[in-house]
Amino acid sequence: MDVISVIRTKRDRGELSPEQIDWVIDAYTRGVVADEQMSALAMAILLNGMNRAEIARWTAAMIASGERMNFDSLSRPTADKHSTGGVGDKITLPLAPLVAACGAAVPQLSGRGLGHTGGTLDKLESIPGWRALLSNEEMLNVLDTTGAVICAAGDGLAPADKKLYALRDVTGTVEAIPLIASSIMSKKIAEGTGSLVLDVKVGSGAFMKNIEDARELASTMVALGTDSGVKTIALLTDMSTPLGLTAGNALEVRESVEVLAGGGPADVVELTLALAREMLEAAGIKDADPAKALADGSAMDVWRRMIAAQGGDPDATLPVAREQHVVTAPASGVLTRLDAYAVGVGAWRLGAGRARKEDPVQAGAGIELHAKPGETVTAGQALMTLHTDTPEKFEYALAALEGSYDIAPAGTAFTANPIVLDRIA
């Protein structure tokens, strides 16, 4: 077997054989296939695609590159959730303890942000003392004692994907649907969860800009999970406007705690409850009411135990950026558009995100929104507040936000997109 023939097969729109896929994934993981060669193959896959059999085998080969976890020792059924990433997407933070409060175990392996999409681990690391890196034994212990754990995937879980993900990020192949699907599902299947709910974002602030591509990705992942014996459901959800009123790390933690306390923005609460109901149904838990668990404080209790179990102080003051800049409305009327991508890039440029995996992030940086589409604003009213420790970044962030919103005359009719656009099972 040689890598040149594998590249040529896909370059010429051929179907990779199971043997070719097994060999190239193993050889790349071991360093036998060079980065530039795997880059060429990834680009060929982006341009020419893969069929269901190829994607399934590619996913299986990435799983086989490392270990598989097992939660059979737990007394609860397991349910996990994965989001394809968006702006202000802090849903994992209230969702994991909420589902745990309703009787499921939630082993949530999460990642860090790159570019305009925030990472769950970056958000939680703004909590003083909180640890993302747990051994498998520590992870199982937190899951067993609290019902939920949010942590980084260990090095032994699908190491081929970890290496390939970093390569895709710097070679313009992140958007390849077969590679997105296999990347997500290899980790989730290797993780060992019994059921999985996928939140596939659609819109300007998501990787999938249109619903057709999002539906293709969701269907591919549902098929991969189903074929591997994991009950898998996908919701397509709107990401044309940021979720909630914050985009940034500590800002989103603060908003998540508001949701757990029974408040928070309506869109965040709606999506959290929709995903919670799907997770509980997939796990076979029929009689729990997640809305009640938010209202009576039981989800908050799980959150506090989960944060403390990973070394964090749930009562600690969260970081606040040293500098703020307010963007005001230039006219009175109805806010009819607020572009998620622009807000995400703005928050990233303020220091909330990173351009490379090794870059640091500012815990307090980000954007706080004071109005959402459909609301009436007046000239001079604050539309958003920019937060950063480095004020020289304001100009760069403001450039990203230029033209990111529209204000129509007062009385203009406005119809918001539904948050949940479709369901695939």
Alpha-carbon gap, residue 254 to 337, rounded angstroms: 25
CA 381, 386, 392: angle at the middle one, nearest 5? 125
> Nearest CA to 205 among 82, 118, 110, 334?
118
Q: Is 219 a catalytic residue?
A: no
Which residues, other chains included, contact 8 with Cβ-Cβ below 8 Å and sequence gap of 6+?
none
CA-based Rg of the chain, rounded to a whole angstrom? 21
**Best CA proximity match to 380, nearest among 327, 324, 323:** 327
Q: Is 332 a catalytic residue?
A: no
372 classed as catalytic: no
Chain center to CA of 173: 18
Residue 327 backbone zone (phi > 0: left; psi -120 to 50: alpha; other: beta): beta
Of the candidates 65, 110, 183, 228, the residue annotated as catalytic is: 183
Contact 386, 324 (CB under 8 A): yes
Residue in 162, 187, 201, 305 annotated catalytic: 187
In three-state secondary structure terms, 333 is strand
Helices (H), 65-134: 92-101, 120-124
Q: Is the CA virtual torsion 279, 284, 286, 287 positive or negative? A: negative
Determine which one of 57, 81, 82, 123 is catalytic.
82
Please name the residue that has the structure tokens 């199982």: 140
Selecting among 162, 168, 349, 387, the annotated active-site residue is 168
Q: Could you write out the DSSP letters of every residue in 150-174? A: EEEPPTTS-HHHHHHHHHHHTTT-T
Classify 275 as helix, strand or coil: helix
Backbone phi and psi for residue 37, each to the nearest 5 degrees, phi listed first: -75, -45
Q: Which of 89, 161, 199, 267 is catalytic?
A: 161
240 is an active site residue: no
Catalytic residues: 82, 161, 168, 183, 187
